[in-house]
Amino acid sequence: MLRVIFDTNIYGFLIKEKDADELEEKIKEDKEFIVYGYKPIRNEIRAIPKVTKLSRRARNELLKLYDDITSKHFLKDSIKITNLARKYYDCYRNLGVYIIGIRV
């Protein structure tokens, strides 16, 4: 079984896909691929400004997608997860890539 935490930007990429609903269903139905929720990721999505109709709609759609995909699987904050997130962030920063959703 593969267990993953999607970075915030992955939800944005998923929602842009032509077959986003189909992808969402496949992710939810696949018992061998579990997506875990993690509070800092959800908080990053919630932080999308509600300035325009488009940004409000995007925020709501992304939160719904996040909640639907992660459903009953949620990781509580821990030192191990924080350290792993820091290593992930540092690795990508060293490559010159900016990561959205990781608070260090």
What pLDDT shows up at residue 83?
86
pLDDT tens per residue across span 31-43: 999 999 998 889 9
Cα separation, 87 vs 104, in Å, equals 10
Q: Which two three-digit tokens encode residue 5?
A: 């935490």
Backbone angles phi, psi at 34, to 5 degrees: -110, 125
Rounded CA gap, 59 and 98, in Å? 21
Q: Do residues 10 and 99 lie in contact, with contact meaning Cβ atoms separated by under 8 Å? A: no
Domain boundaries, the chain: 2-76
| pLDDT value, residue 98 | 53
d(CA 37, CA 19): 22
Return d(Cα 10, Cα 28) in angstroms, integer.
15
Kindly report the pTM of this predicted structure: 0.78
| Confidence check: pLDDT of 77 > 90 | no
At residue 104 the predicted structure's pLDDT band, cuts being 50, 70 and 90, is very low
Mean pLDDT of 9-29: 92
